[in-house]
């Protein structure tokens, strides 16, 4: 007897009429047209069953704090950092935990079941670190929350930065972060990259740095990051987040940089909603989009994921934990409008992001966790186009969220009574 059998599902790889059989927490069979006794049988009606959405870049210590203590008037990255600096002395662990748990509720409802969140380690009390470690434990039954020790004020620039970061890692933070472009000089930035990669190598940890989040074509810390990943044997364990300067770099230089990133096994995370909003702010016209070179990185063999980065915080007032909204913006900004390009954007918020996080048991395969999302869409392209409704979300065999089918009712003579925006 199976615990759960989902029938007549479409999978992201294009297979249709698929059945997924679940026993306990695992997928035990996956084949076309399977019928077997099960405690719970769900007819997917040909709709898309996807592995869960994964956000590989987020800031859960700041989320849902929009307007506290004031709104970022200019909308720039630097004013955002200043507003965050004003909020920090007013933060309490209870408020951080409450906002983070609310965001995690939103995430589950959106089928977002794995999040890599940076946590600011600049404050010597490490209050935010303790708060998010508590959240990580509390949400573990429904969300894989991975934490990155993130020295927002610069690991070298801020007093005690290295010590605070190491203490955060001692407490159980999973990943080493950094912000080389925010250090005082380019040289200090490069020194911070080297130092932080060495800390990760010593401790056997992954690396994820905010790298070159600027419009400066000469901000080239991604090069140092890739070089250090190779030098220290960290291939496949290092990620460069944002890399927006690559948008503005000289094309000849990029033709040399891309193979270095690919060889070093460094992955890249673009944050389309935030990059398009924060970058190009010093431009008049034309205004740069600022997002890194996503299709070019993918073509060079680099694993590229999309992150949400911010939801209702000092940097960004929008968002609701919807990774399809992220993919939707990503494909527009990168002009990835071919069918393959759109599917690549779907992968950027699912499988590619799972690879960045080194998630175990992720995917729609026999032996993987029975965690998946049934969407009100037939394929990944339609899912992004509609930012489709999440009908059902399962985590390790357990149903954790449901949203009723969304249909618009029409009152037009001779026209259908209800529509769901599906292309005939």
Active site positions, annotated: 213
Q: Is 144 in the site for Fe ion (CB under 5 A)?
A: no
Q: How far is the CB of 43 from Fe ion (least distance, A)?
A: 41
Q: Toward Fe ion, which CB reaches closer, 309 or 322?
A: 309
Whose CA is closest to 12, among 334, 423, 383? 383
Q: How far is the CB of 276 from Fe ion (least distance, A)?
A: 14
| Numbers of helices and strands, H then E, in the chain | 13, 18
Q: Toward Fe ion, which CB reaches closer, 51 or 307?
A: 307
Q: Is 228 in the site for Fe ion (CB under 5 A)?
A: no
Q: How far is the CB of 271 from Fe ion (least distance, A)?
A: 7
Cβ partners under 8 Å of residue 185, min gap 6: none
The window from 27-35, 65-73, 286-294, 306-314 that contacts Fe ion (CB under 5 A) reads 306-314
**Helix, strand and coil percent figures for the chain, each rounded to 5:** 35, 25, 40
- Name the phi and psi angles at 39, rounded to 5: -60, -35
Q: How far is the CB of 198 from Fe ion (least distance, A)?
A: 23
Angle between helices 323-333 and 339-348 (to 10 degrees): 140
The window from 214-222, 301-309, 354-362, 412-420 that contacts Fe ion (CB under 5 A) reads 301-309
Q: How far is the CB of 242 from Fe ion (least distance, A)?
A: 7
- Give the separation between CA 44 and CA 267, rounded to whole angstroms: 34
- Give the separation between CA 112 and CA 410, rounded to whole angstroms: 32
Residues that bind Fe ion (rule: CB under 5 A) add up to a total of 1
Residue, CB closest to Fe ion:
309
The window from 199-207, 307-315, 372-380, 392-400 that contacts Fe ion (CB under 5 A) reads 307-315
- Give the separation between CA 125 and CA 107, rounded to whole angstroms: 28
Q: Toward Fe ion, which CB reaches closer, 120 or 144?
A: 120
- Give the separation between CA 55 and CA 105, rounded to whole angstroms: 14
- Give the separation between CA 295 and CA 284, rounded to whole angstroms: 26
- Give the separation between CA 396 and CA 250, rounded to whole angstroms: 47
The window from 87-95, 194-202, 225-233, 304-312 that contacts Fe ion (CB under 5 A) reads 304-312
Q: Is 223 in the site for Fe ion (CB under 5 A)?
A: no
Q: Toward Fe ion, which CB reaches closer, 150 or 394?
A: 150
Q: Which of 144, 212, 309, 379 binds Fe ion (CB under 5 A)?
A: 309
Whose CA is closest to 178, among 202, 157, 204? 157
Q: How far is the CB of 390 from Fe ion (least distance, A)?
A: 25
Q: Toward Fe ion, which CB reaches closer, 309 or 379?
A: 309
Which two structure tokens, joined as six digits, stand for 106?
């939103």
Q: Toward Fe ion, which CB reaches closer, 316 or 362?
A: 316
- Give the separation between CA 298 and CA 378, rounded to whole angstroms: 25
Q: How far is the CB of 324 from Fe ion (least distance, A)?
A: 20
- Give the separation between CA 313 and CA 316, rounded to whole angstroms: 5
- Give the separation between CA 313 and CA 123, rounded to whole angstroms: 18
Across the strands, what pairs with 120?
Answer: 150
Coil, strand or helix: which one is 303?
A: coil
Q: Toward Fe ion, which CB reaches closer, 11 or 60?
A: 60
Contact positions vs Fe ion (CB under 5 A): 309
């Amino acid at each position: 007897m199976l615990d759960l059998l989902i029938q007549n599902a479409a999978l992201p790889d294009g297979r249709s009429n698929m059945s997924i059989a679940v026993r306990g927490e695992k997928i035990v069979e996956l084949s076309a047209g399977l019928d077997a006794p099960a405690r719970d049988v769900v007819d997917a009606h040909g709709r898309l069953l996807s592995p869960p959405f994964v956000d590989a870049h987020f800031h859960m210590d700041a989320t849902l704090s929009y307007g506290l203590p004031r709104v970022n008037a200019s909308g720039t990255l630097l004013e955002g950092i200043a507003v965050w600096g004003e909020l920090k002395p007013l933060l309490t662990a209870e408020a951080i935990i409450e906002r983070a748990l609310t965001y995690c509720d939103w995430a589950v409802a959106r089928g977002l079941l794995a999040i890599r969140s940076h946590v600011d380690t600049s404050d010597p009390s490490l209050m935010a670190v303790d708060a998010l470690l508590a959240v990580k434990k509390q949400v573990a039954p429904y969300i894989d929350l991975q934490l990155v020790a993130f020295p927002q004020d610069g690991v070298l620039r801020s007093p005690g930065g290295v010590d605070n970061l190491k203490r955060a890692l001692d407490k159980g933070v999973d990943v080493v972060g950094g912000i080389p472009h925010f250090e005082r000089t380019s040289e200090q930035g490069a020194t911070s990259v080297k130092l932080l990669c060495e800390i990760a190598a010593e401790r056997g940890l992954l690396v994820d740095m905010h790298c070159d989040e600027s419009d400066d074509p000469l901000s080239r810390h991604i090069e140092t990051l890739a070089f250090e990943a190779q030098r220290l044997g960290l291939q496949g364990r290092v990620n460069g987040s944002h890399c927006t300067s690559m948008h503005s770099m000289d094309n000849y230089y990029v033709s040399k940089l891309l193979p270095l990133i690919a060889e070093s096994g460094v992955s890249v995370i673009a944050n389309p909603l935030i990059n398009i909003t924060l970058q190009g702010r010093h431009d008049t016209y034309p205004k740069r989009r600022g997002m890194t070179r996503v299709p070019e990185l993918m073509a060079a063999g680099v694993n590229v994921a999309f992150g949400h980065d911010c939801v209702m915080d000092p940097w960004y007032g929008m968002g609701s934990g919807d990774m399809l909204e992220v993919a939707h913006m990503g494909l527009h900004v990168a002009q990835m409008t071919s069918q393959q390009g759109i599917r690549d954007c779907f992968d950027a918020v699912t499988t590619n992001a799972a690879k960045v996080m080194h998630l175990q048991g992720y995917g729609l395969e026999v032996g993987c966790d029975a965690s998946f999302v049934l969407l009100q869409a037939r394929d990944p392209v339609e899912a992004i186009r509609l930012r489709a409704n999440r009908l059902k979300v399962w985590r390790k065999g357990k149903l954790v969220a449901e949203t009723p089918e969304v249909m618009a009712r029409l009152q037009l003579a001779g026209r259908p009574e209800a529509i769901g925006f599906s292309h005939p």
